[in-house]
Amino acid sequence: MAIEMRSREDQPAVTTRPTIAPASARVPTAAPDPAPAARTTKIEARDLNLYYGSFRAVRDVTIDIPANEITAIIGPSGCGKSTFLRSFNRMHELAHGARMEGRILLDGVDIYDRSVDAVDLRRLVGMVFQRPNPFPTMSIYENVSAGLRLGGGPKPKDLDEIVEDCLTRAALWDEVKDHLGDSGTSLSGGQQQRLCIARALAVDPEVILMDEPASALDPIATLRIEELMLELRGSYTIVIVTHNMQQASRVSDQTAFFSMGEDRAGYLVEMGQTTTIFTNPREQLTEDYISGRFG
């Protein structure tokens, strides 16, 4: 089936660059959709297959994630969306028996190359999880600064300012500024999730992955997380996995729809501009899912 994606047919297959180029050198792509020019691709996956032991969870995915926009990944449960997301920050490989085939490029660099340190990668590509997971033995301040304090490398001198900045951007500063010493777990669920977002921001990533970040939260907290995402867009590339189609349509610029094949492996059905996907999708399967014809 045809897979909608950023077409690169009129670009050379290989883009060679001189070594040690600044990370800002991006690969320009042409988009078949009417979109503002100079949209760049942040992450490219090519023929990606993800396994747990002999079980294939994700099959043959080729996809481009544009930079500084919000990409939503939707689809029924069990079709490998989380597995797929975790391959972007090499968290997938931590599972027992995990295996990948294919390539994933970040700014054109193969992140699974032997010479890439997964730990460094994870500072570039941050993650927010489904259930808030602040470190239970650390205070709010310590939680936000954890990545900087523990990640090796010298502690920045302006740690206080960084903590305040991140908490502000996570829309949490005003609520906690007077009790930064309280335990991270003393906050409500929604606040804890925003704390986790602040924590992820503190290491200055370029990409933020969100695995159903609001599914454990009440509607009001969910709304605040969505507002937060829209504020972060433009400075960060955001990829969000969500069960909630309305959330995807509210928040994202493009949407990728995954489904589960008969071999129980997830695959990419269709990807495109969010408005297109939700009003005029190309695949019947997408249409069925969006109109609720199957789970």
Partner 1 sequence: MSATPGTLAGSRAPFAERLAAVRGSRRRIVDRVMRTVALVAAVVCVVPLAAILLFVVIKGAAALNLDLLTKPPKALGTGGGALNAILGSLQMVAAAALVAVPVGVLGGVYVNEFASRRSARAVRFAADVLVGVPSILIGIVAYTLLVLPFKQFNAAAGSVALALIMVPVIVRTTEEILRLVPHEIREAGLALGVPTWRVVVSVVLPAGRTGVLTGVMLAVARAAGETAPLLFTALGSRLVNVGQFGQPMDALPLFIYNGARQPIAALNEQAWGAALLLLLFVLGVNVAVRARSWGRRAG
Partner 2 sequence: MTTLAPTGRLRGRNAPRRADVVFRGGTRAFGGAVIVTLGVVAAVLVVSSAPAWTRFGVDLITGTTWDPVRDVYGALPFIVGTLYSAAIALLIATPIGVLTAIFLSEFAPRRVSIPLTFTIELLAAIPSVVIGLWGIFVLSPFLRDTVDAWLIATLGWLPFFRGPSFGVGIGAAGVILAIMILPTIVSISREVLSSVPNSQREAMFGLGATRWEVAVKAVLPYARSGVIGAAILGLGRALGETMAVTMVIGNGQDIPVSVFNQAQTIASKIAVTFNEASGGLQSQSLVAIGLILLVMTLLLNVAARLLVSRAQQGPAR
Min dist CB 207 to partner 2, Å, is: 12
By CB under 8 A, tell whether 239 contacts partner 1.
Answer: no
Q: Please name the residues in contact with 116: beta carbons below 8 A apart, sequence gap of 6 or more.
A: 109, 110
- Kindly give the pairing relationship between strand 98-106 and strand 109-110: antiparallel
DSSP designation for 93: G
Smaller CB distance to partner 2: residue 115 or 246? Answer: 115
The amino acid occupying position 220 is: I
* Residue 39 beta carbon to partner 1: minimum distance, rounded to whole angstroms: 27
User: Least distance in Å: CB of 183 to partner 1?
Assistant: 12
| Binding residue for partner 1, selected from 15, 137, 186, 235, defined by CB under 8 A | 137
Can you tell me the distance from the alpha carbon of 164 to that of 146, in angstroms, rounded to the nearest whole number?
A: 14
CB-based burial label for 53 (10 Å; 0-12, 13-18, 19+): exposed
56, 59, 81, 123: which one binds partner 1 (CB under 8 A):
123
Tell me how far, at minimum, the Cβ of 275 lies from partner 1, in Å: 31
Give the integer Cα–Cα distance in Å for 64 and 208. 15
Single residue of 57, 111, 162, 196 touching partner 1 by CB under 8 A:
196
Site string for partner 2, 108-147 (x = CB under 8 A): xxxx-xxxxx-xxx-xx-----------------------
152 is an interface residue for partner 1 by CB under 8 A: yes
Return the residues of window 145-184 that contact partner 2 according to CB under 8 A: 152
Stretch that binds partner 1, among 28-36, 86-94, 257-265, 277-285 (CB under 8 A): 86-94
The nearer residue to partner 1, 56 or 90, going by C-beta atoms, is 90
* Min CB(283)–partner 2 separation in Å: 28
Q: Are 93 and 118 in contact (CB under 8 A)?
A: yes
Give the largest CA-CA distance in the chain.
Answer: 56
* Measured distance CA(122)–CA(92) in Å, rounded: 12
Closest of 165, 21, 43, 22 to residue 104, by C-alpha: 43
Choosing from 146, 159, 223, 260, the residue that interacts with partner 1 (CB under 8 A) is: 146
- Assess 38 for contact with partner 2 (CB under 8 A): no
The CA distances from residue 278 to 6, 40, 85, 236, 275, in Å, are: 18, 23, 22, 24, 5
Which residues contact residue 157 at a Cβ distance below 8 angstroms, ignoring those fewer than 6 apart? none
- Can you tell me the distance from the alpha carbon of 65 to that of 205, in angstroms, rounded to the nearest whole number? 16
Q: Which residues bind partner 2 (CB under 8 A)?
A: 13-14, 16-17, 19-23, 103, 106-111, 113-117, 119-121, 123-124, 152, 206
Q: Which residues bind partner 1 (CB under 8 A)?
A: 89, 91, 94, 119-124, 126-127, 129, 131, 133-137, 146-147, 150-152, 196, 199-200, 203
